[in-house]
Chain A
Amino acid sequence: MAKTKKVVQLMPTDIKDELLKKYPPKVARKRAKQIMINEATESEAPPEIVANVRTIPGIITMRGCTYAGCKGVIMGPTRDIVNITHGPIGCGFYSWLTRRNQTDAGEDGDNYMPYCFSTDMQDQDIIFGGEKKLEAAIQEAYDLFHPKGICVFATCPVGLIGDDIHAVTRKMKAKFGDCNVFAFSCEGYKGVSQSAGHHIANNQVFTHLVGENTEPKEGEYKINLLGEYNIGGDGFEIDRVLKKCGITNLATFSGNSTYDQFASAQHADLSCVMCHRSINYVADMLETKYGIPWIKVNFIGAKSTAKSLRKIAEYFGDKALIDKVEAVIAEEMLEVESVISDVRPRTDGKTAMLFVGGSRAHHYQDLFEEMGMKTLSAGYEFAHRDDYEGRHVIPDLKVDADSRNIEEIEVEADSEFYNPRKTPEEIKALEDAGYKFKHYEGLNPQMDKGTLIIDDLNQYEAEKLVEIMKPDIFCAGIKEKFSIQKTGVPMKQLHSYDSGGPYAGFKGAVNFYKEIDRLVGSKVWSYMKAPWQENPELTATFVWE
């Protein structure tokens, strides 16, 4: 049943005012800078958004913490490293199998992902310090499993009580000799969101692991896929397509990844960045230290996937590869086109809102566009201005007091292994032909004029937006899902995919079209009122017909 739809003629400025109306003045002033009307009128300066700033206490944010960004997001998906959470039990428990990073344990069979390892700190550890317990825990993990690597993750109290986790891990690494042990100071209170955790993870992985395997890697057209976490099998689908094209993916950071993939990433000739927010640090460092250029790719959406494959082929510039990529695209698009022609009449003209972490609120707009759906409003939990406005704003970014203590590491060209993959002339020739290295234009340019771009959306604003603009589908996470659905608006989780997926690549696009078609067309939204609530005027008369 089609929903009767309120025709929305509200101006974006009215909607913004409506969102801000209820706040205390200080909160309203702050939120006003995080709610942006895209491409505001010509007379105004180009709109700037405030992002990556502290969360307003009590506002019911969607955000998580630095530990989640570091252990949960970046390191969690690596199957053959034992990840030990140093802290009370909660942090380890909640990040235990709750992100859907799928993995293929391969021939060696090492897979610690179904396990949760924790030092389970007790009050005496808080009082007397937890270093001894951490040391014992690392030893027990080593004795039980003999893994290639053990990583240790700090939680809130660890920084406060002054446990030196780096000293403990250095000591244990030296003691074992055959097991790389290192630590992450990713206390939950650092920075303002998961984002700080990404940065800390990038730094430590690059410092302690990348480049360790100096044995050259076999394969043609060697790339790294950075910032792809194999949620619901996305990475598997991308790998399938790459393989079909004859492109060798040496290392995925970090879906379905292994210790050796991180250790060998410097052997690739190109880095392809999916999630810009979480991994751009490693991309830059690989370029500086080893001379590997990076490009932004997007495998979400069939057309974006085709475009990204072409971009990779163009980089290598080899006719055999270019032809192969075209052949693969043509073959894969057959199914995509057949499904889209079935689905599109039902999805065309429908509207969506997307509020997801630091990357998908942008990427998934490609899929919705392919279905003829318009994005009314979007935003990130924890992205920075460059993810909204594009990397050209990076020189203008100011690090504020809350993020100042996130370490910036300096990387230099490696005296032995630095090897520029293209000559300056080759780079220039590509750039003259319109090729863009180290380029990410951000979310804003993709969105229509007058759409609302909102950073760190909260519960109140989500409810208001849905109430005013009545989207046909709302995309966010598990915490938002059921409050939105209670209002009768279908909700799609774009973190966990509601146990579905993959949504990346060609097969993923097909899955997504079908899923959105199912959701926006589901009859359940017509069952909310009982017949006697729909027609309350019929009161107690006996009518048997």
Chain B
Amino acid sequence: MALLRHTPTEVKERKALMINPAKTCQPIGAMYAALGINGCLPHSHGSQGCCAYHRSTLTRHYKEPISAATSSFTEGASVFGGQANLLQAVNNIFTVYDPEVIAVHTTCLSETIGDDLNQIRDKAIKTGKIPEGKTMIGAPTPSYVGSHVTGFSNMVKAMAQLAEPTGKKSGKVNIIPGWVEPCDMEEIKRLAAMVGVDITLFPDTSGVLNGPLTGEYKMFPDGGVTVKELKAAGDATGTLALGEWCSADAARWLDSKCKVPCSVLDMPFGLAATDRFIDVLRTVAGVPVPDTVAYERGQLVDMISDMHQYFYGKRVALWGDPDQLISMTEFLVSLDMHPVYVVTGTPGKKFEKRIKEICADKPFEVKVKAKGDMFLMHQWIKNEPVDLLIGNTYGKYIARDEDIPMVRWGFPILDRQGHQYFPTVGYKGGLRLLEMILGRLLDRKDRDDPEQKFELVL
């Protein structure tokens, strides 16, 4: 029997009830971003349930320790303000855990009561709660605005705001990778190094959330962008922001406040988006692209041509976060696949417009929704099925009910591993995406083909 057996085929408009969201709330994004700062302890300024939930979800996704502290609001603090809680917390955190940085984000609780993070930070500095040489940053992340992506963006902007331009250009390029996996961040660094561009990547969770088992637990692993590097971000020659939703705010802030020009690009998932990333990278740095990069690109094109018959015309439903979905939709279209349903829970009119542009003049109609939910997407699927699902773990209920193969990609993935070790950005990442998509489609073909048509070679 179907697991989602109460989902009717008939679509009725809903104005108030969200069912099976394709998003979660801001602070978890801020927590993830903060983990990409070297020596940083994220801090949740709210009641402690939020922090426990965010840590648990990130831990289930990464199978890695996620440390974060909380102000642990009580009812009293919720009515009279949480300043005392945060000041106590800062003192306890530096005394007991000794991070280099505390990155504070807020919740719907502290935002509703109107706690002012800047004012509390000033108070913490004045009262000597922040030791010499240590840093505290803060980002407001109200859960009732936007989504987890907005929270990520807000914390990345708070990181950019550490910039202290000296007036002397460093010759480095800032790259803001957006909400991608630690291995994706590693891959972006590898590509930049291949092209020969000196970059500052922030945030950078590689080495933090994909670390080894050695017998020693380090609350603050070696990875992450340093405060020193963030301060120097104001001297960069420019900033590449990957993803409008995740990264543009921080890049634009550096542009307007520190005169560091920026380009906002799509996240480099798939062939064309990676092409544009490499092309802009070489242009802003004024360097030629080595053949090794073109070689990797050629491998990806080769695989597309080799296996094109299996991609051609396949209908795909995908859900997740806007920046990732835009590049993925473009990639699927370039494979002659048909991304027919595209849903994000994150608000933003521009999303629907971009997806429609990418799919314009293609031989299929795309149903796209921002601020949508997976209940609606499932109803679309029930009305007209698809060949493949691409999205986070919550899709497995639809995959099972409707018997559709599914590629796990995005956040959160709670029931498989690999996503933190094997990138899906860049040309290499494109190969891996193709491998995953083909694997699912061909497993299904092998399962469904009648005995006479079951074949060894595909």
Which residues from chain A sit less than 8 Å from chain B, CB to CB?
22-24, 27, 54-68, 84, 87-98, 105, 109-112, 114-123, 125-126, 133-137, 139-141, 143-145, 155-157, 159-161, 187-192, 401-402, 405, 459-460, 463, 477-479, 481-488, 528-529
Asked if B65 lies at the interface with its beta carbon under 8 angstroms from chain A, I say yes
> Looking at the complex, which one of B4, B53, B56, B92 makes contact with A56 (CB distance below 8 Å)?
B92
Q: How far is the CB of B43 from chain A (nearest CB, A)?
A: 7
Contact B67 A60 (CB under 8 A): yes
Asked if B95 lies at the interface with its beta carbon under 8 angstroms from chain A, I say yes
- Which 6 interchain pairs have the tightest Cβ spacing? A65-B49, A58-B89, A90-B25, A136-B16, A57-B89, A94-B53
Contact A118 B75 (CB under 8 A): no
Measured in the bound complex, the distance between the Cα atoms of B56 and A513 in whole Å is 27
- A116-B18, A405-B75 provided; 4 other pairs, C-beta below 8 A? A188-B47, A402-B76, A460-B97, A486-B214
Measured in the bound complex, the distance between the Cα atoms of B63 and A192 in whole Å is 28
> Looking at the complex, which one of B46, B59, B95 makes contact with A478 (CB distance below 8 Å)?
B59
Contact B18 A120 (CB under 8 A): yes
Q: How far is the CB of B128 from chain A (nearest CB, A)?
A: 13
Measured in the bound complex, the distance between the Cα atoms of B74 and A401 in whole Å is 10
Instruction: Given A22-B96, A27-B92, A144-B8, check contact A62 B52 (CB 8 Å).
Output: yes
Asked if B424 lies at the interface with its beta carbon under 8 angstroms from chain A, I say no
26 CB contacts below 8 A, A to B, read A55-B48, A56-B88, A57-B86, A58-B43, A58-B69, A58-B93, A59-B96, A65-B50, A88-B143, A89-B21, A90-B27, A90-B108, A91-B53, A111-B6, A117-B18, A118-B21, A122-B145, A140-B16, A156-B46, A156-B107, A157-B109, A157-B144, A160-B79, A477-B56, A479-B56, A486-B218
Q: How far is the CB of B278 from chain A (nearest CB, A)?
A: 35
B109 nearest in chain A by CB position? A156
Contact B74 A189 (CB under 8 A): yes
Q: How far is the CB of A462 from chain B (nearest CB, A)?
A: 10
Could you say which residues of chain B place their CB within 8 Å of the CB of A160? 78-79, 109, 112-113
Contact A483 B219 (CB under 8 A): yes
Could you say which residues of chain A place their CB within 8 Å of the CB of B26? 90
**Most chain B Cβ neighbours within 10 Å, of A157, A460, A481:** A157
Could you say which residues of chain B place their CB within 8 Å of the CB of A89? 18, 21, 23-25, 143, 147, 345
Could you say which residues of chain A place their CB within 8 Å of the CB of B218? 486
Contact A486 B213 (CB under 8 A): yes
Could you say which residues of chain B place their CB within 8 Å of the CB of A188? 46-50, 109
Could you say which residues of chain B place their CB within 8 Å of the CB of A65? 47-50, 52
> Looking at the complex, which one of B21, B60, B72 makes contact with A120 (CB distance below 8 Å)?
B21
Could you say which residues of chain B place their CB within 8 Å of the CB of A54? 72, 74
Contact B217 A56 (CB under 8 A): no
Contact A189 B56 (CB under 8 A): no
Measured in the bound complex, the distance between the Cα atoms of B102 and A57 in whole Å is 14
Measured in the bound complex, the distance between the Cα atoms of B217 and A120 in whole Å is 38
B8 nearest in chain A by CB position? A144
Measured in the bound complex, the distance between the Cα atoms of B388 and A247 in whole Å is 48
Instruction: Given A22-B96, A68-B49, A115-B4, check contact A487 B74 (CB 8 Å).
Output: no
Measured in the bound complex, the distance between the Cα atoms of B129 and A168 in whole Å is 45
Measured in the bound complex, the distance between the Cα atoms of B48 and A109 in whole Å is 36
> Looking at the complex, which one of A93, A114, A161 makes contact with B21 (CB distance below 8 Å)?
A93
> Looking at the complex, which one of A482, A488, A528 makes contact with B64 (CB distance below 8 Å)?
A482
Contact A59 B69 (CB under 8 A): yes
Instruction: Given A57-B85, A160-B78, check contact A122 B67 (CB 8 Å).
Output: no
> Looking at the complex, which one of B16, B71, B144 makes contact with A58 (CB distance below 8 Å)?
B71
Contact A161 B144 (CB under 8 A): no
Asked if B90 lies at the interface with its beta carbon under 8 angstroms from chain A, I say yes
Could you say which residues of chain A place their CB within 8 Å of the CB of B69? 57-60
Could you say which residues of chain B place their CB within 8 Å of the CB of A139? 16
> Looking at the complex, which one of A95, A140, A401, A402 makes contact with B14 (CB distance below 8 Å)?
A140
B375 nearest in chain A by CB position? A115
> Looking at the complex, which one of B43, B74, B142 makes contact with A402 (CB distance below 8 Å)?
B74
Could you say which residues of chain B place their CB within 8 Å of the CB of A92? 18, 21
A479 nearest in chain B by CB position? B55
B41 nearest in chain A by CB position? A60
Measured in the bound complex, the distance between the Cα atoms of B17 and A137 in whole Å is 4
Q: How far is the CB of A88 from chain B (nearest CB, A)?
A: 4
Could you say which residues of chain B place their CB within 8 Å of the CB of A66? 49
Asked if B19 lies at the interface with its beta carbon under 8 angstroms from chain A, I say yes
Q: How far is the CB of B322 from chain A (nearest CB, A)?
A: 16
Measured in the bound complex, the distance between the Cα atoms of B19 and A202 in whole Å is 26
Could you say which residues of chain B place their CB within 8 Å of the CB of A145? 6
Asked if B66 lies at the interface with its beta carbon under 8 angstroms from chain A, I say yes
A134 nearest in chain B by CB position? B16
B86 nearest in chain A by CB position? A57
> Looking at the complex, which one of A58, A118, A144 makes contact with B91 (CB distance below 8 Å)?
A58
Q: How far is the CB of B19 from chain A (nearest CB, A)?
A: 6
Measured in the bound complex, the distance between the Cα atoms of B89 and A134 in whole Å is 35
> Looking at the complex, which one of A27, A60, A93, A528 makes contact with B215 (CB distance below 8 Å)?
A528
Contact A64 B109 (CB under 8 A): no
Measured in the bound complex, the distance between the Cα atoms of B5 and A515 in whole Å is 34
Q: How far is the CB of B300 from chain A (nearest CB, A)?
A: 34
Could you say which residues of chain A place their CB within 8 Å of the CB of B73? 189
> Looking at the complex, which one of B91, B92, B144, B216 makes contact with A125 (CB distance below 8 Å)?
B144
Could you say which residues of chain B place their CB within 8 Å of the CB of A479? 52, 55-56, 59, 65-66
Contact B112 A156 (CB under 8 A): yes
Could you say which residues of chain A place their CB within 8 Å of the CB of B85? 57
Q: How far is the CB of A386 from chain B (nearest CB, A)?
A: 22
Measured in the bound complex, the distance between the Cα atoms of B111 and A155 in whole Å is 14
Asked if B3 lies at the interface with its beta carbon under 8 angstroms from chain A, I say yes
Q: How far is the CB of A128 from chain B (nearest CB, A)?
A: 12
Q: How far is the CB of A411 from chain B (nearest CB, A)?
A: 25
> Looking at the complex, which one of A67, A96, A485 makes contact with B49 (CB distance below 8 Å)?
A67
A105 nearest in chain B by CB position? B1
Interface members, chain B 293-348 (any A CB < 8 Å): 345
Measured in the bound complex, the distance between the Cα atoms of B7 and A117 in whole Å is 13
Instruction: Given A88-B144, A116-B20, check contact A68 B46 (CB 8 Å).
Output: no
Could you say which residues of chain B place their CB within 8 Å of the CB of A140? 14-17
Instruction: Given A119-B17, A120-B18, A482-B65, check contact A90 B6 (CB 8 Å).
Output: no
Could you say which residues of chain B place their CB within 8 Å of the CB of A57? 69-72, 85-86, 88-89, 92
B52 nearest in chain A by CB position? A64
Measured in the bound complex, the distance between the Cα atoms of B394 and A116 in whole Å is 11
B89 nearest in chain A by CB position? A58
Could you say which residues of chain B place their CB within 8 Å of the CB of A156? 46-47, 78, 107-109, 112
Measured in the bound complex, the distance between the Cα atoms of B217 and A62 in whole Å is 18
Contact B74 A192 (CB under 8 A): yes
> Looking at the complex, which one of A84, A159, A402, A478 makes contact with B60 (CB distance below 8 Å)?
A478
Could you say which residues of chain B place their CB within 8 Å of the CB of A133? 16
Instruction: Given A88-B108, A478-B60, check contact A487 B17 (CB 8 Å).
Output: no
Measured in the bound complex, the distance between the Cα atoms of B142 and A87 in whole Å is 12
Contact A114 B3 (CB under 8 A): yes
Could you say which residues of chain B place their CB within 8 Å of the CB of A463? 217
Contact A117 B17 (CB under 8 A): yes
Contact B112 A126 (CB under 8 A): yes
Measured in the bound complex, the distance between the Cα atoms of B69 and A91 in whole Å is 18
Measured in the bound complex, the distance between the Cα atoms of B48 and A55 in whole Å is 9
Asked if B77 lies at the interface with its beta carbon under 8 angstroms from chain A, I say yes
Could you say which residues of chain B place their CB within 8 Å of the CB of A528? 213-215
A460 nearest in chain B by CB position? B96
Could you say which residues of chain A place their CB within 8 Å of the CB of B345? 89
**Most chain A Cβ neighbours within 10 Å, of B50, B72, B75:** B75
Contact A24 B91 (CB under 8 A): yes
Measured in the bound complex, the distance between the Cα atoms of B79 and A161 in whole Å is 11
Asked if B397 lies at the interface with its beta carbon under 8 angstroms from chain A, I say yes
Asked if B101 lies at the interface with its beta carbon under 8 angstroms from chain A, I say no
Asked if B28 lies at the interface with its beta carbon under 8 angstroms from chain A, I say yes
Could you say which residues of chain B place their CB within 8 Å of the CB of A109? 1, 5
